[in-house]
């Protein structure tokens, strides 16, 4: 198991055992796992994003902490939040992360996730000028999401 997976798993367990909110001290968690604190930061910024259904807050200083909260809302509200947060451009990896999160949260079925991934892959936009690909992908992705509401 990769270290990032171990850290994410531990945080997920903390979230599940505390009704969707976990408070951690980065240095304490890093010491417990046996890694550097920056590895904790990497996991938080890559796996616990708003697009994936989480809010991460931090407080610096001696009594500092990092609070991770799972966003709990209806599927329709989650989708509308995503549509509003995508903006004018989205790259393939960001779109895939959102799709995977929707699937993991049970908002979309596996078949819908597969179709979305196919339609948003870089291969579909080979005929579109490179500077416009992420713009076109964002518009198509938003339309797909709005059909789910």
The pLDDT, as a whole number, for residue 63 is: 61
- pLDDT tens-digit profile of 108-143? 999 999 999 999 999 999 999 999 999 999 999 999
Specify the pTM. Answer: 0.62
- pLDDT tens-digit profile of 64-94? 789 998 876 788 888 888 888 888 999 999 8
Encoding tokens for residue 5?
A: 């997976």
Q: How many Å apart are CA 11 and CA 69, to the nearest integer?
A: 11
Mean pLDDT, the chain, as a whole number? 88
Which domains are assigned to the chain?
Answer: 3-70 (3.30.56.130), 75-148 (1.10.1200)
Q: How many Å apart are CA 42 and CA 10, to the nearest integer?
A: 14
């Amino acid at each position: 198991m990769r270290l990032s997976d171990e850290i994410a798993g531990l945080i997920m367990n903390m979230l599940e055992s505390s009704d969707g909110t976990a408070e951690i001290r980065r240095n304490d968690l890093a010491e417990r796992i046996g890694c550097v604190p920056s590895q904790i930061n990497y996991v938080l910024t890559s796996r616990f994003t708003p697009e994936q259904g989480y809010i991460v807050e931090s407080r610096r200083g001696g009594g500092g902490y990092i609070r991770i909260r799972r966003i709990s809302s209806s599927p329709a509200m989650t989708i509308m939040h995503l549509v509003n947060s995508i903006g004018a451009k989205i790259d393939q990896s960001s779109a895939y992360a959102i799709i995977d999160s929707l699937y993991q949260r049970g908002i979309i079925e596996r078949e819908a996730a597969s179709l979305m991934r196919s339609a948003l892959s870089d291969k579909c936009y080979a005929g579109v000028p490179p500077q416009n690909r992420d713009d076109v992908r964002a518009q198509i992705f938003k339309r797909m999401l709005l059909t789910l509401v």
